[in-house]
Amino acid sequence: MPQATYHFPRGFLWGTATASHQVEGNNTNNQWWMWEQTGHTDGTSGLACDWWGGRWREDFDRAAETGQNAHRFSVEWSRIQPTPDTWDEDALERYRAMLRGLRERGMTPMVTLHHFTDPMWFYEMDGWEHDDAPMLFEKFVRKVVEALKEYCSLWCTVNEPNVYTLSGYVAGLFPTKRHGLNVAKRVLANLLLGHAAAYHAIHEIQKEAQVGYALHYRPMVANNKWSPLDRLMRNIQYNGINMAFPSAISAGVMKSPMGNVRIPEAKGTQDYLGLNYYSVDTIAFDITRPQELFGKRYYPDDSDFSGTKFIANIPDGIFDTIKWATRTYPNLPLYITENGVEDADDKMRPRYIAQHIHQVWRAVNFNFPVKGYFHWSLVDNFEWERGWTQRFGLWGVDVETQKRIKRPSVDLYAEICKENGLSSEMVQKYCPEVFEKLFPV
């Protein structure tokens, strides 16, 4: 049996990612809380993982003790700026304490400034549809970066602007007042302007800052590659879902199925690109789906499915994602800002982790500049409209008692982080079912 270790470069960041609303608890002043109280989600976030009550300490201990040297979390706009004219200095102080907490544990922080939640006052004025939104976001970002710059220089402006926009303004799963492709186009354009304004503001405040955003990137294949309609639908979906931000940052023009928008301010506004990768979609032409631009997105029946079939385990997709990013932006540093699977029983997670990290290693060996990997997530947390039905944590959380439950993946990921690599022994021990795939003779 072959024995080998796939090593990563020195200084590689190994961590997990979380987001304020999903872990803090009692985030009563944002649009998601409102959405939850009005029955749009499977359960409510409630106390979440009680990080606002201080449990981030024990969870950061868990991360540090298991070899993680980085963590990505987000700050909650609705706490920091509860009304348009007030700043909550105590809230900022808590985030400073969390950042100190990471530093004391030897971990590098990445702070996300917008992860799906907006303050209620912002939502009420029509949120990202409003022309003032980018300016208001910039004001918030300036305040946060001034307050936190002592402890953080790796910033993620906006998480998954494409998911935020499409899940809300098109699919109706996220809180929005209006729907439709034209509103979605406007929201994306404003998010881009907000991102660009934040990028420049952060650099003004902190010279050494590294600023980027997290793109949810979905590789896609046509259901039947010989079918021109399937191929056409695949291209429309691919561009519609993936390309708005990347096209604007490359060329200053946001591409959208509803027409292009010139956003010259956005050109070149990234020092790294964050990639959130989960799975690959298959696209078929489907006349019954005008809402989805006549494209059906699905996973083939014979996929290696996760617990709730939310994810098909397709590890080469992460390699393709990194390859696409490297071709699009040569030499730009890349971080995997999210990757993970919902799997309460931890049946698939060990192989999902090993197989994806193996593909990241392949990418690194092509000299694709991947600098770190953040697993989603450290602990189970509130999964938006899907509530507590999906368990993405390395550690499980009993929401009633707040007890953490260690899953076997914790030990696998700890060994990877500590070794700065993935070895044949680890795969043999935690997911022997993929041994031959990862270490072929």
Please report whether residue 191 would count as binding ligand FCB according to CB under 6 A: no
Cis before residue 377, ω within 30 degrees of 0? yes
Please report whether residue 321 would count as binding ligand FCB according to CB under 6 A: no
Residue listed under structure tokens 């938006």: 384
The least distance separating ligand FCB from the CB of residue 66, rounded to whole angstroms, comes to 20
3-state SS assignment for residue 71 = strand
What are the φ/ψ torsions at residue 313 (nearest 5 degrees)?
-75, 100
Please report whether residue 159 would count as binding ligand FCB according to CB under 6 A: yes
Restricted to residues 262-291, the positions that interact with ligand FCB (CB under 6 A) are 276
Interface residue with ligand FCB, options 392, 395, 430, 439 (CB under 6 A): 392
Question: What is the sign, positive or negative, of the torsion defined by CA atoms of 333, 338, 339, 345?
Answer: positive
From 362, 372, 367, select the one nearest 331 (Cα to Cα): 367
Interface residue with ligand FCB, options 169, 373, 376, 430 (CB under 6 A): 376
User: Near ligand FCB by CB under 6 A, which window of 145-153, 157-165, 246-254, 280-288?
Assistant: 157-165
User: Near ligand FCB by CB under 6 A, which window of 40-48, 155-163, 362-370, 405-413?
Assistant: 155-163
Please report whether residue 292 would count as binding ligand FCB according to CB under 6 A: no
C-beta of 276 vs 355, nearer to ligand FCB? 276
Dist CA 130 CA 180 (whole Å): 15
The least distance separating ligand FCB from the CB of residue 49, rounded to whole angstroms, comes to 13
Neighbouring CB atoms inside 10 A of 425's CB total 13
The least distance separating ligand FCB from the CB of residue 428, rounded to whole angstroms, comes to 29
The least distance separating ligand FCB from the CB of residue 420, rounded to whole angstroms, comes to 25
Instruction: Show the site string, 196-235: x = touches ligand FCB by CB under 6 A, - = not.
Output: --------------------x-------------------
C-beta of 206 vs 246, nearer to ligand FCB? 246
Dist CA 245 CA 241 (whole Å): 10
Alpha carbons within 13 A on the beta-carbon side of 98: 28
CB environment 397-423: b (16+ within 10 A), e (fewer)? bebeeeebeebbbbbbbbbbbebbbbb
Number of residues that bind ligand FCB (CB under 6 A): 12
The least distance separating ligand FCB from the CB of residue 386, rounded to whole angstroms, comes to 8
User: Near ligand FCB by CB under 6 A, which window of 158-166, 181-189, 261-269, 363-371?
Assistant: 158-166
Please report whether residue 163 would count as binding ligand FCB according to CB under 6 A: yes
Fill in the amino acid letter for 237: Q
Restricted to residues 3-62, the positions that interact with ligand FCB (CB under 6 A) are 19, 22
Please report whether residue 384 would count as binding ligand FCB according to CB under 6 A: yes
Dist CA 17 CA 24 (whole Å): 13
The least distance separating ligand FCB from the CB of residue 125, rounded to whole angstroms, comes to 24
Contacts of 80 (CB under 8 A, 6+ apart): 87, 88, 91, 92, 95, 140, 143, 144
Dist CA 49 CA 71 (whole Å): 16
Q: In the complex, which residues of this chain contact ligand FCB (CB under 6 A)?
A: 19, 22, 159-160, 163, 216, 276, 338, 376, 383-384, 392
